[in-house]
């Protein structure tokens, strides 16, 4: 008969409650403190980072509101379409292709690849840089193809940001403030839409030295 190994479960190494408390005490951590396992940056740093992350929502709102006003400007037809009237198909394409870019970025394998390579914070920063590139292409567009390229790049950025910025905020926020800080993303979207409409109203009649539509789109780079 083959020998049978007998494991004495009582011999397994484990830490008692007292030993755990001693280790935490040596590390300078009070077990019952509500701030025991929170970061050392402090509340101000957490709120500041959350506000920075919420700028992703502001970018999204600016683009949504800006393009609606831009397409109605006379300077848009003159500068991009060479004084031709914007066709219905072109109107729909300018709006639709932004969503295509966002859908590509939000596609789970694409999102997973970006986050795996860059990390959550890196994906947010990368999304902001990509948005600046897309906005610049739109602002300096000389034909419809260049405008559409800028739109799809900006859409990709928004898809990447909307999938990462709120999650990143929730990861760094303390439980007591998590809801308030995460909703800042949605608040930023609505503020961005409002600012974009105001910019379109102010820049509607601007034609020199550059059309008001270019200034409106270029303003998206600022955040």
Mean pLDDT throughout 12-35?
A: 64
CA 103 to chain centre: 14
Task: Give the whole-number percent of the chain exceeding pLDDT 70.
Answer: 82
pTM, two decimal places: 0.71
| 139-194 residue pLDDT tens | 888 888 888 999 999 889 988 888 888 888 887 777 777 787 888 888 888 888 88
What does the alpha-carbon distance between residue 152 and residue 21 come to, in Å, rounded to a whole number?
Answer: 55
What does the alpha-carbon distance between residue 83 and residue 75 come to, in Å, rounded to a whole number?
Answer: 8
pLDDT at residue 171, rounded to an integer: 79
| 65-104 residue pLDDT tens | 778 777 777 777 776 777 677 777 887 888 888 889 989 9
Size of the chain, expressed as the number of residues it contains: 223
Torsion of CA 104, 108, 112, 118, to 10 degrees: 30
pLDDT at residue 198, rounded to an integer: 85
Pairwise pLDDT comparison (14 vs 67), residue with the higher score: 67
Q: Which of 10-14, 80-84, 100-104, 206-210 has the lowest mean pLDDT?
A: 10-14
């Amino acid at each position: 008969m083959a020998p049978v190994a007998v494991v004495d479960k009582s011999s397994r190494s484990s830490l008692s409650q007292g030993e755990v408390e001693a280790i935490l005490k040596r590390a300078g951590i009070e077990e019952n403190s509500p701030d025991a396992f929170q970061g050392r940056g402090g509340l101000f740093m957490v709120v500041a980072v959350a506000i920075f992350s919420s700028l992703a929502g502001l970018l999204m709102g600016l683009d949504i509101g800006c393009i609606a006003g831009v397409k109605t400007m006379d300077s848009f037809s003159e500068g991009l379409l060479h004084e031709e009237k914007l066709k219905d198909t072109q109107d729909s394409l300018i709006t639709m292709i932004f969503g295509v870019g966002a859908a590509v970025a939000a596609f789970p394998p694409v999102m997973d690849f970006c986050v795996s390579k860059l990390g959550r914070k890196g994906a947010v920063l990368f999304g902001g840089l990509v948005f600046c590139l897309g906005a610049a292409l739109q602002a300096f567009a000389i034909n419809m193809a260049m405008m559409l390229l800028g739109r799809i790049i900006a859409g990709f950025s928004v898809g990447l940001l909307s999938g990462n910025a709120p999650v990143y905020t929730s990861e760094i926020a303390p439980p007591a403030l998590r809801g308030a800080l995460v909703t800042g993303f949605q608040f930023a979207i609505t503020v961005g839409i409002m600012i974009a409409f105001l910019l379109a109203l102010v820049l509607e009649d601007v034609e020199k030295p550059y059309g008001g539509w270019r200034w409106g789109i270029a303003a998206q780079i600022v955040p």
